[in-house]
Amino acid sequence: MKCFLLLFLTTVLVSCKEEHRIQSKKGGIDIVTNIYYGASKGLDNHQQIILSKINYFENDIIELVPNITIPEIIDSVYYINDSVYYEIGSLMDSKSLNFIKQRQEKSKNVRDKKYGAIWIDKQISNYELRKNLNDTVLYGRLPFKRFQILTKDNYSIFYINKTDTILPYSLNQFADNDYGGRLERIDSYDKKRDLFTTIILLPRRNWDKEAAVIFEYNYQINIDSN
């Protein structure tokens, strides 16, 4: 399971670079995958996994990585700033996270991170084979552009939200740029494994309560130091 998820994510997940569009200042992003086993026989045998819960304010990102089995439990916390990340540890450890002090510690390149959201500056596999589809509406209200990639072993459809707002994380920056929007969903069917998988990026305005505690703590630190 974990190996499959890592391979699938490595294929499609990349970072988002600064562009000439509106940069979102504050909010959250959930990255969710749904896996349907034996998809040709129906969609009853499935599993939903919350891969990452990203919370951001300007250049500071708090990433909460939920437990695969019990998503209410946070397995690990990362602090991300610009192109580097810091392993904070448990949720309890994160409550005393000081952004200024943390940035003085040894950091790692965000593209080397193995868990949660994966930053990879890489094109979608077989992107040159893509074929545009008619636009559609998802969630009853949002218009999406679409394209498909069909190969011998896999069939995928990509959905791009028609928006000029960019987030500090993207499923694929190349598709964002080429289609003038934000890639928010990928449906993929693996013919050999009979496995149907969706990866969905869900933007939100509000922080998770755990991240809000961290941001508010650092806001107070800045006030006290001035």
Euclidean distance between CA atoms 133 and 211, whole angstroms: 38
| Burial class of residue 112, CB neighbours in 10 A (0-12, 13-18, 19+) | exposed
Which helix (H) or strand (E) covers residue 9, if one does?
helix 2-12
Contact 67, 75 (CB under 8 A): yes
116-160 residue pLDDT tens: 999 878 899 999 999 999 999 988 788 999 999 999 999 999 999
Band (pLDDT 50/70/90 cuts) for residue 3 is very low
* Token pair recorded at residue 114: 């193995």
Q: What was the pLDDT predicted at 107? A: 95
54-103 residue pLDDT tens: 999 999 999 999 999 999 999 999 999 989 999 999 999 999 999 999 99
| Whether residue 9 has pLDDT greater than 60 | no
Q: What was the pLDDT predicted at 70? A: 94
Q: What was the pLDDT predicted at 122? A: 86
Q: Which residues contact 189 (CB under 8 A, 6 or more apart)?
A: 39, 154, 155, 156, 195, 196, 197
| Burial class of residue 46, CB neighbours in 10 A (0-12, 13-18, 19+) | middle
The pTM (predicted TM-score) of the whole model is 0.87
175-216 residue pLDDT tens: 999 999 999 999 999 999 999 999 999 999 999 999 999 999
Using DSSP's 3-state secondary structure scheme, residue 38 falls into: coil
**What CATH number was assigned to the domain covering residues 2-225?**
2.50.20
28-41 residue pLDDT tens: 999 999 999 999 99
Beta carbons within 10 angstroms of residue 200's beta carbon: 18
Q: What was the pLDDT predicted at 140? A: 77
Q: What was the pLDDT predicted at 20? A: 67
Sheet holding 46-57: strands in order across?
108-109, 84-89, 74-81, 60-66, 46-57, 26-37, 195-204, 182-190, 154-161, 142-150, 131-138
Contact 19, 170 (CB under 8 A): no
